[in-house]
């Protein structure tokens, strides 16, 4: 089944009383940087915007939740949970958490030497935050600091 995501989220925001959503439009492209070293020598960080959290952590609330969850990279997939403003897109993640937080695959890549290693913690936020300002001023700097604290060489963004 194909989902018209842009239309669905606009209708969802209208239904909960928000003004029409203004999609972010960057003034310039992202500052892409080449890897400083091969993947086989790189420590990889992960960010999922799927509202993932580990069993025992607090779920996200649904109105502009800008909090971040730190999830141990050794967390079994069966202990991952999801809460997000776009609940209808979580059916697959609840059946197979690795589709939005691919810890099993990343641990296998580290074991075979394809990547140098996985950060001790991976991060999740709820990507359905209405305020672009809060994303720029709160979430992005906090995530950057958290990834730097993990001393990662590269980060995998798994956007929902």
> Based on the number of CB atoms within 10 Å of its own CB, is 57 exposed (0-12), middle (13-18) or buried (19 or more)?
middle
pLDDT above 80: residue 22: no
The proportion of the chain whose per-residue pLDDT surpasses 90, expressed as a percent, equals: 45
pLDDT at residue 94 is higher than 90: no
Full-model pTM: 0.78
| Most confident by average pLDDT, 6-10, 81-85, 95-99, 147-151 | 147-151
Residue 6 CA to residue 37 CA, distance in Å, equals 37
Q: What residue spans define the domains of the chain?
A: 37-158
Q: Which tokens in the block code for residue 85?
A: 């403003």
Mean pLDDT of 106-129: 94
In this predicted model, what pLDDT tens digit does every residue of 124-140 receive, in sequence order? 998 777 788 888 899 99
Q: Give the confidence band of 18 by pLDDT, cuts at 50, 70, 90.
A: confident
Q: Which of 3-12, 32-41, 58-67, 84-93 has the highest mean pLDDT?
A: 32-41
User: Which long-range contacts (C-beta less than 8 Å, at least 24 apart) are formed by 24-29?
Assistant: 24/132
Question: Does residue 57 have a pLDDT over 80?
Answer: yes
Confidence of residue 160 (pLDDT cuts 50, 70, 90): confident
Statement: residue 99 has pLDDT above 80: no
């Amino acid at each position: 089944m194909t989902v018209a995501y842009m239309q669905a989220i606009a209708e969802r925001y209208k239904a909960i009383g928000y003004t029409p959503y203004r999609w972010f439009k960057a003034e310039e492209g992202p500052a892409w940087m080449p890897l400083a070293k091969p993947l086989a020598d790189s420590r990889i960080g992960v960010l999922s915007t799927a509202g993932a959290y580990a069993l025992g952590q607090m779920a996200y609330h649904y109105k502009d939740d800008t909090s971040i969850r730190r999830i141990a990279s050794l967390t079994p997939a069966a202990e991952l949970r999801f809460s997000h403003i776009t609940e209808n897109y979580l059916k697959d993640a609840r059946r197979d958490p690795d589709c939005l937080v691919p810890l099993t695959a990343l641990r296998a890549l580290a074991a075979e030497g394809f990547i140098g290693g996985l950060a001790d913690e991976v991060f999740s936020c709820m990507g359905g935050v209405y305020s672009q300002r809060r994303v720029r001023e709160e979430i992005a700097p906090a995530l950057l600091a958290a990834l730097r604290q993990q001393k990662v060489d590269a980060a995998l963004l798994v956007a929902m």
